[in-house]
Amino acid sequence: MSQPSGLLVFIEPLVKDPRHIPERFAGCSYMLYPLPDLANFYMLSYFKKHGLESEIVNAVLDRLSEAEFLHRIRDLRPRALILHSVVLAKPVDLACLPKLLQAVDAPVLIHGPEPSRVPQEYLDAAGRLAHNERVLVFTGEPENNMLRYLLHGEKKGVHLYEGEEKKYYPHGHDFLSIEDLPFDFHEHPTVKRLSRHFLNAKFPRQPVAAMLASRGCPFPCSYCVPNSVSFARELEFRQTAGHGKKPRAVYAGPERVIAEFQAVKAAGYPSLMVMDDQFLASKKRTLAICEGVKDLGLDWGCLSRPDFLDDEEVVAALARAGCISVDIGIETLSQRLLDLIDKQLDLQTFYRAVPLLQKYKIEPKINIMFGSSAEETEADIRHTLRELKRLKVRHVMFAVATPFKGTPFYDQAKQNGTLIDDADSINPFGKSMVSYPNLSHERLQQLTRQAYRRFYLRPSQMWYRLQSYRSWDSLRNDLRVLVHLLWRDQTRRAAR
């Protein structure tokens, strides 16, 4: 083999079924539209800051065959390969690992929530090829520990084989400072080339950049899977240092956030999705950010709880700053159920937030989960659907509550016997892995499909969507997503 260069190569392996591609950053669904893998992209910028140059080989977005994928990697003569893995990508990644190790004389450095949860599975997949530090599984927040290894050979927060002996070096939990985390990946040549794929139907102007300005979430929702960066951090900390508790959530200050908005604008993106689990957690910070970005001309959106959106001063500031969409995770419109799932949320904040967003022409996208509690009934589900129609919201995502491994919801479901499927082939849009006495898993799947049809196939909803399209591309993408959610046999596909 040729001698390695100094280049780090971030990889995303081929997925053979193009309708069944794992989304790697949110980490909990199959891809409805491509999203930048921020877990790798911020690491790319962080390593560059410390003198390490990187390239990206994405077999999915570049539609490379397996042979083309491996050939492109070989041509780069990498110093190391870096793979970000999540539960839905695990079968693809485990199968690809031996091929990567045979193709190049370089170690594979793996990170992400699923490697943090089950590091041994990744070592086992490579067999003897993992020996002699060929596969290194970094758990939790990986940047500082991976950087130390690459620069100095120092080992922290990593599972590996030294020779033929398996070793684990504890993490240390010296988390990086988000204030010091660079974001020049928006200008990286390969990211800019791939950006033509970064489409999102919520935005009239494409492509859509993505950013992350915090890590972690302070709320205790038992079912929640945060973005992959926060989830990896949380899983490792709970297992080793937190005694079951989450690490402290950390937020970049307004100046750092404003600077990244400016970088997105300078890179030529017209739109931006902020992927923080709780971007609006502080009113003072939110108002400062809005003031700093209001003249950039970006269309942008974010995720939020409704109790950060029931203040008219905040919503008005968001609108002036260019915010046009907010994803709201409310899960159910029953206060009784919200209390049972430890949401720590007053439902009335939702009923105040939605009209405020509509008043200021910010589109609320509502996320609903069926089956988050054994106490939920079909009457609760029908009530939620009626209320959504009454509020005249236009964008709703219905899903089955899924007990992701590593969450308290999973532990509870396994303990009380409501978990009926312990496989990794999770699909919140149609495959129920829980079954309750009053709501069987078959009924939960059926109710999810019915909710989509009853919500989206109303004449008023169909007319609204037809009027909202700005291009043939957005129409085609929306139709593809609609068919995917309404008619495809999600359960069968997820079980493949």
pLDDT reported for residue 473: 54
Could you tell me the mean pLDDT of each successive run of 10 residues in the chain, 496 residues long?
Answer: 76 88 86 88 97 97 96 97 96 97 97 97 97 98 97 97 96 91 96 93 92 92 88 93 86 97 98 95 97 98 96 98 96 95 95 98 96 94 96 92 89 92 79 92 93 85 61 55 52 35
Q: How far apart are CA 158 and CA 170, in angstroms?
A: 7
Site of tokens 């008023």: 460
State the alpha helices, DSSP H only, in 50-133.
66-76, 90-103, 113-117, 119-126
**Looking at beta carbons, which pairs linking 59-67 to residues 24 or more positions away fall under 8 Å?**
59/11, 59/12, 59/13, 59/14, 59/15, 60/12, 60/14, 60/15, 60/21, 60/34, 61/12, 61/34, 61/194, 61/197, 62/194, 64/14, 65/14, 66/14, 66/99
102: exposed, middle or buried (C-beta count within 10 Å: 0-12, 13-18, 19+)? exposed
pLDDT reported for residue 294: 98
CB-CB neighbours of 482 under 10 Å = 16
What is the distance of C-alpha 153 from the center of its chain?
A: 30
Query: Quick check: 396 and 486 in contact, CB under 8 A?
Result: no
Is the omega angle on the peptide bond into residue 254 within 30 degrees of 0, that is, cis? no
Contacts of residue 218, defined as CB under 8 A and 6 or more positions apart, other chains included, come to: 246, 248, 249, 278, 281
State the alpha helices, DSSP H only, in 297-341.
312-320, 335-340
CB-CB neighbours of 489 under 10 Å = 10
Tens digits of residue pLDDT in 65-97 = 999 999 999 999 999 999 999 999 999 999 999
pLDDT reported for residue 429: 72
Site of tokens 């307004």: 254
Q: How far is CA 199 from CA 37, 395, 475, in A?
A: 13, 17, 12
Question: pTM for the full model?
Answer: 0.91
Domains and CATH numbers, the chain: 8-169 (3.40.50), 182-189+196-494 (3.80.30.20)
450: exposed, middle or buried (C-beta count within 10 Å: 0-12, 13-18, 19+)? middle
pLDDT reported for residue 428: 73
pLDDT reported for residue 495: 30
pLDDT reported for residue 92: 95
Q: How far apart are CA 227 and CA 327, in angstroms?
A: 14
Tens digits of residue pLDDT in 265-274 = 999 999 999 9
pLDDT reported for residue 201: 82
pLDDT reported for residue 101: 97
